Amino acid sequence: MSEEKTFLDEEGFIVTTARAVLMGTTYAVSGITAVRLQPVSTQSGFLVLAGGLTALTGVTGVMLFVASLLSDAGTPLIGLLVGSVVFGGLGALLVRHETRKPNSFRVVITTASGQTTALRTMNKELAERVCSAITDAIVERG
């Protein structure tokens, strides 16, 4: 029997030709058939809602400004226009930011029993190193 080769040993994560220890669970590398890195976007519903309402407020303000220009109500409210554009832009940016960013990353392994999330972390580099080490262990195993 060949000697166990270590591909990763850091921060409590160990990957060798025989086993992978991730988040306190030991997996036999001989049972792992595939591994993949999966970004996970967990949106904050409150922030998306707040951004949407802020953008809506901005659009409403612009419409009120245009209406004041078209009516005989007097001097157009330039402050209303500037505030509306700023609020609308900030709201749109907040919604865009919250709906596009991956908040965490998962290392998903596939075995004969199905798929399992072996690691979930906000550290993309760690997730990539773990995924790469498991891939290397699978290849070394043959």
Residues 41-90: tens digit of each pLDDT: 766 666 666 667 677 777 777 777 777 767 665 555 666 666 667 767 77
Q: Is the predicted pLDDT of residue 135 greater than 60, yes or no?
A: yes
Estimate to the nearest angstrom the gap between the alpha carbon of 102 and the chain centroid: 1
Do 111 and 90 share a structural domain? Answer: no
The CA distance from 109 to 15, in Å, is: 13
Average pLDDT, the chain: 80
What DSSP character marks residue 77? -
Does 122 fall in a domain? yes
Does 1 fall in a domain? no
Do 37 and 11 share a structural domain? Answer: yes
Chain position carrying tokens 């921060």: 11
Q: Which residue has the higher pLDDT, 119 or 142?
A: 119
Q: Is the predicted pLDDT of residue 1 greater than 60, yes or no?
A: no
How many domains in the chain? 2
**pLDDT at position 73, please?**
58
Do 111 and 79 share a structural domain? Answer: no
The CA distance from 19 to 24, in Å, is: 12
Q: Is the predicted pLDDT of residue 14 greater than 60, yes or no?
A: yes
Is residue 8 within 8 Å of 129, Cβ to Cβ?
yes
Structural domain boundaries enclosing 65: 45-100
Does 21 fall in a domain? yes
